[in-house]
Amino acid sequence: MPLIDVNTGARLHYEDVGQGEPLIAIHGLLGTARRNLGRVIDWLSADYRVLGLTMRGYGESMPKPRDFPPNFYHRDAEDVLAFMDALKIERAHLLGFSDGGEITLVCVGKHPERFHSAITWGAVGYFGPRLLDVITRPDYPARLAPRPEDMFLHGIPNAEAFAQAWIASVRGMIDSGGDVSLSLADKITCPLLLMLGRQDTLNPEAYGRMFVERTLHGRLEMFDTGHAIHEQDWDGFRRVVGNFLKSLKAPAA
């Protein structure tokens, strides 16, 4: 599991398993590639060269501490592209969960020529009023704050400050109109599978549907789960993602 320096100033830790077309997997908030997506990486490595990428500030990736400037999803997307350049990967499949899903949508919207396909869950590309209702609840900072083991893993000096920084940045996006990658949706040329759980309070179905309706080859799949579909319905997740990837390999009629 090596580290690589990229031209955005980050040093990124990654897994590299399997063979075949490259598929990059991106974790969510307070995760790492192995911690969030280990089961997904191991499953997909039977058919793809899976690169499980840990984003800057998490796990062994640098710089630390992890911060959340107003454009952090776009900054992370540039890290992904720089990572591909450093490994001389011209095109890849891209898969992301939660914040990793938001990064994925930015990547394929800004650099569509670099991706064969995109798979996301727990991400919608738009932060609207319904999200504001969730993140402004009095108990939300405590729910979001990292646990002691998270603080040790990611080198976080202050749990409350970490949570408040993410909330402040997301609230700024909402106050600015909510566009994370929605304005890029019509530029996505690759097939897109966007998945949401019906009990996911952060990512309502209406926002996901609005996003895919603006894409050329996007589709929305709903699950009877919360945010972490891959943990709460592994069989359903594997069936939907597996069929989507198989459809990309099917010969044209």
How many structural domains compose the chain? Answer: 1
Q: Is 136 part of a structural domain of the chain?
A: no
Task: With cut-offs at 50, 70 and 90, classify the pLDDT of residue 250.
Answer: low
With a cut of 80, say whether residue 133 has pLDDT above it. yes
- Residue ranges making up the domain that contains 191: 3-125+179-249
pLDDT of residue 249: 85
Q: Is 144 part of a structural domain of the chain?
A: no
Asked which of 3-7, 34-38, 132-136 is least confident by mean pLDDT, the reply is 132-136
Give the pairing type, strands 192-197 and 218-223.
parallel
Task: With cut-offs at 50, 70 and 90, classify the pLDDT of residue 82.
Answer: very high
Task: With cut-offs at 50, 70 and 90, classify the pLDDT of residue 253.
Answer: very low
pLDDT of residue 38: 98
With a cut of 60, say whether residue 252 has pLDDT above it. no
Radius of gyration, CA atoms only, the chain: 17
Q: Which of 68, 67, 2 is nearest to 33 (CA)?
A: 2
Instruction: For the chain, list the strands marked E by DSSP.
Output: 3-5, 11-17, 22-26, 49-54, 92-97, 115-121, 192-197, 218-223
Burial class (CB in 10 A: 0-12, 13-18, 19+), 98: buried
**Mean pLDDT score across all residues of the chain:** 96
Q: Is 206 part of a structural domain of the chain?
A: yes
Query: For position 229, which CATH number holds?
Result: 3.40.50.1820
Q: Is 225 part of a structural domain of the chain?
A: yes
